[in-house]
Amino acid sequence: MHLDQIIETQDGSHSILSHKYGVSYHSKYGAITESKHVFISAGLFPKIREKEVISILEIGFGTGLNAFLSFIEANTKKLKLNYVGIEAYPISEEQYHHLNYPELLETPHFKNQFLQLHTSEWGKSIVIDPQFTFIKHLKHFEDIDYQSSFDVIYFDAFAPSAQPELWEEDLLQKMYDALVPGGIMVTYCAKGLVKRRLKSIGFTVESLPGPPGKREMTKGIKPQ
Ligand SMILES: C[S@@+](CC[C@H](N)C(=O)[O-])C[C@H]1O[C@@H](n2cnc3c(N)ncnc32)[C@H](O)[C@@H]1O
């Protein structure tokens, strides 16, 4: 049985409260607001100007919100996105049916595509529409092993206070290796320790204004 409850954040969008870690999947100030700010505006948008086909790796597929927002951008702006999501502890069928993202984003016509993100087979690539290819892998972040494969990484693990092991240098190094030169990693986390680790690995680190409730967020760029 899933003990994790669906909660409503301040912009009306749902999130999930993790029973195990005692934290929510998104900011209480707004799940959609946070995801758009951190991942879409700071992560995806800068690449649109540079590349015709963009490869995205998401560390922490969770509710599928970041994948769904990326799909909507691909569809409406006619971008070509190849999206890979990693998740070890998928949410339940009952939970993903209940999430209010398609309705709140005024895209009820994409409800099927939202559900497809969840119902698609693990490890099997699907074409959700000609603009958006999607695959998710049921695995631990610690086991990823990509080399120069992605333009953008959405790093959306639980915070270092909840899961410090996911912010150690070895996983940050795996993300660095997974990016193509010039690729970017974005995260809502702005902790000095994490930024120092990113710098020591070789990322060029930028602190950007954060979403509501957070002064800053972090962008790491792999040098060309
Ligand atoms: C902050 S939440 C995800 C937010 C997600 N991007 C969303 O919009 O719902 C972190 C996610 O990481 C997953 N997770 C935690 N530890 C993990 C691990 N070691 N390997 C893979 N997934 C993990 C959790 O199950 C959860 O879905």
CATH numbers and ranges of domains, the chain: 29-221 (3.40.50.150)
How many Å lie between the centroid of ligand 1 and the Cα of residue 157? 5
Task: Please give the Cα distance from 53 to 78 (Å, whole number).
Answer: 10
Q: Is the CB of 45 under 6 A from ligand 1?
A: no
- Segment 207-219, tens digit of pLDDT: 999 999 999 999 9
- pLDDT for 134 equals 98
- pTM of model > 0.85: yes
- pLDDT for 2 equals 58
- pLDDT for 49 equals 87
Q: Is the CB of 25 under 6 A from ligand 1?
A: yes
Q: Which two tokens stand for residue 44?
A: 């995806």
- pLDDT for 144 equals 96
- pLDDT for 138 equals 98
Q: Is the CB of 39 under 6 A from ligand 1?
A: no
Q: Which atom of ligand 1 is nearest the CA belonging to 35?
A: 8
Q: Is the CB of 4 under 6 A from ligand 1?
A: no
How many Å lie between the centroid of ligand 1 and the Cα of residue 224? 29
Q: Is the CB of 203 under 6 A from ligand 1?
A: no
Q: Give residue 95's identity as a one-letter amino acid code.
A: Q
Mean pLDDT of 23-45: 98
The 3-class SS string of 64-133 reads CHHHHHHHHHHHHHCCEEEEEEEECCCCCHHHHHHCCHHHHCCCHHHHHHHHHHHHCCCCCCEEEECCEE
- Segment 37-95, tens digit of pLDDT: 999 999 999 999 899 999 999 999 999 999 999 999 999 999 999 999 999 999 999 99
Q: Is the CB of 187 under 6 A from ligand 1?
A: no
- Segment 118-153, tens digit of pLDDT: 999 999 999 999 999 999 999 999 999 999 999 999
Task: Please give the Cα distance from 153 to 199 (Å, whole number).
Answer: 16
